Structure 1
Amino acid sequence: MNRSLKQIAGIAAGIACLTATACTQLRVKDGGNLSPVSADTVAVVQDVQRYEPPVVPVMIRTKEERQCFLALHYWNDFDFADTTHFSKPEATEQALADYLYLLGEVSTDISRQGISLLLDKALTADSTMFAHFTGLLEHYLYEPNSPYRNDVAYIAVLEYITASLQISKTDKLRPAYQLKMIRKNRIGERTADFTYTLKDGSQRTLHGIRSEYTVLFFNNPDCEECRRIKAVLTELDVFVRNPAVTILSLYPDEDVELWRRTPYPDSWINGYGNADIDKLYDLRAIPSLYLLDKEKRVVLKNAPIEAIIDYLNQY
């Protein structure tokens, strides 16, 4: 009866979210060349025996305290040295997905502590197990199409890896690059300025836009999901009939002629970016949406269009 928090708010439903087919175009930028790759559908975890985390002591009564206890003690009974876990990866993935859902219910500080404790246990037990868990954490927290995507939590993972004395410099190169990029344009910060070019050849800057809110829409004409979002942005009153909102559509790739041939609404600012865009913004996938306030501070980063609609409807 004290295991109820393990099943917080329908954790199993969280795994079901991973059936969502990746419909964005992924862009590989891990310190090497930028190139589009196809996205795989994330497998559903079904009918697996769940890992049983520790029982919450009966004297811990409030929901918040019980969540914190589990966040910090969740992996106490998991045998990280048991290599048979690799023969049943669904069970391990289920346990981690449940845990990440739990971390979403606690404070950032507790979440960071929990992630450090998890990685300590995995690294101490077995380097292969550590690689397995860090791979899963990247998959869930960093990949653009994951419903568990969480930059703050993944920063904790990357900071752990790059600070560890037990991990080689070579193995830190990719995490260090990811950390550098993920720290750019964080929520609440003023976003990086850049110059973009319009179809008439004139150039302007992001920070030069005077608007209460700016929707920054990185997109590619060949991207199906970009076309869906483009349709939403041209149909809903919260965008079309809202004088407080300006849409900057930006093409960040190399086929400028394709961009020139593609029609965009006259009410939008439609431009293409220069090579600096990929140095200034962590564009893991296309499309990518930012909502900026009047001072060009980031309100929402890499957000689903639905989140931007909800925010603006409250404005």
Structure 2
Amino acid sequence: MTLIVGCSNTSNKGREILEPPIAESLDKKEVLVERYWGGFDFSDSLALIDPEKAEQRLSNFLSALAHSPMYNQKLEFVGLLDKVSGKMNALKFLDDKIPFYLNNPESPFFNNELFGSYLKASLESGSNPAKQKKSKEILLNLVSKNSIGEIAKDFDFQEPNGERKNLFDFKGEYTLLFFYDPACSHCEETVRDLKGNKEFNQFLIDRNINFALINPWGNFEKWIDFQANLNSSWINGIDVQENIIKNGFYYLQAAPSIYLLDKDKKVLLKNTDIKTSVNYIISGR
């Protein structure tokens, strides 16, 4: 899984993330929770705080789970939660580490879909105090916005010439939706690299792809100054009223945040990167 962000508002600075292993081929019938957690003693408090024991197992488990069928992911989390039922230290470990790995834009495991599966399994387990349950319900609502397979939420924006358009005005075979912040140095670097990439820009033309760069965070003056970084053939807009953010149309945890949509604006990839999006289109998946 590729790290896709540069500018984010996380509070995880200084915390170590154990890198995911190389993806292994998986038997679809295999129960991953048994493969990675079988024989582990969740009542062993020392093992839970040892990165080489519990956290390494969790890293391996999440990496494998990300490559398993989506319909199976919640069931695996249900199995894991069953194993820690009644063990408060183990539950605390999961509730701390899983969001850190799956809901952290700076993590190579960052995956809203997989994190949503964990939240659903956790809420169904009945193991959450009332306050924690409410917090998870709110978070589940956020990470479930514009999920893969759903039609993306429409929104309107203003182009540099003052004309107003909306997402569903785009008529290409694909829309590569690139939410950016003009004050984000990583966004600026990424956009400059893409502008100078002739192969990428020809690919957009050949495959009839709308490359839509949208600034949902306002800051009109910086957005105007940012125009010099952009290719004139790209779609460029700003949500002047910041409705995307204020109304929660999209759960944008970092800049840039990238979505790949099909011609009907169905979400194909979420919180992805340019390379993965290009490979997706080439493979025709």
Give the distance between the partners of 2:11 and 2:95, measured in 1 at CA: 22
Runs of at least 5 residues in structure 1 that lack an aligned partner in the other structure: 1-13, 27-35, 47-61
Q: Within 5 Å, which residues of 2 pair with 1:209-248?
A: 209-241=170-202, 242-243=204-205, 244-248=208-212
Q: 1:308 aligned to 2:281?
A: no
Give the distance between the partners of 2:167 and 2:67, measured in 1 at CA: 35
Q: 1:291 aligned to 2:260?
A: yes
Q: 1:24 aligned to 2:9?
A: no
CA contact (8 A) 1:238 1:312 kept: no
Q: Which of residues 177, 185, 188 is equivalent to 2:146?
A: 185
Q: Which has the higher contact order (CA 8 A, sep 6+)?
A: 2
* Aligned amino acid, residue 107 of structure 1: P
1:8 paired residue number: none
Give the distance between the partners of 1:173 and 1:290, measured in 2 at CA: 28
1:168 paired residue number: 129
Q: 1:200 aligned to 2:182?
A: no
CA contact (8 A) 1:45 1:90 kept: no
CA contact (8 A) 1:290 1:301 kept: yes
Offset, 1:225: 2.1
Q: Which of residues 232, 236, 245 is equivalent to 1:266?
A: 232
Structure 1 86/78 Cα, relative in aligned 2: closer, same or farther at 3 Å? closer
1:122 paired residue number: 84
Give the distance between the partners of 2:41 and 2:260, measured in 1 at CA: 43
Q: Which of residues 70, 82, 102 is equivalent to 1:141?
A: 102
Give the distance between the partners of 1:223 and 1:289, measured in 2 at CA: 15
Structure 1 133/63 Cα, relative in aligned 2: closer, same or farther at 3 Å? closer
Give the distance between the partners of 2:17 and 2:146, measured in 1 at CA: 32
Structure 1 262/105 Cα, relative in aligned 2: closer, same or farther at 3 Å? closer
SS at the partner of 1:271? strand
CA contact (8 A) 2:257 2:272 kept: yes
CA contact (8 A) 1:24 1:39 kept: no
Q: 1:43 aligned to 2:16?
A: yes
* Aligned amino acid, residue 170 of structure 1: K
TM-score by length of structure 1 reads 0.76
1:7 paired residue number: none
Specify the structure having the higher radius of gyration (Cα). 1
Give the CA RMSD over aligned residues. 2.7
Q: How many residues align?
A: 271
Runs of at least 5 residues in structure 2 that lack an aligned partner in the other structure: 20-24
> Deviation per CA, 1:70-97, whole angstroms, max 9, x where unpaired?
4345323211122223542442211111
Sequence identity percentage:
28
Give the distance between the partners of 2:77 and 2:170, measured in 1 at CA: 40
Give the distance between the partners of 1:95 and 1:37, measured in 2 at CA: 24
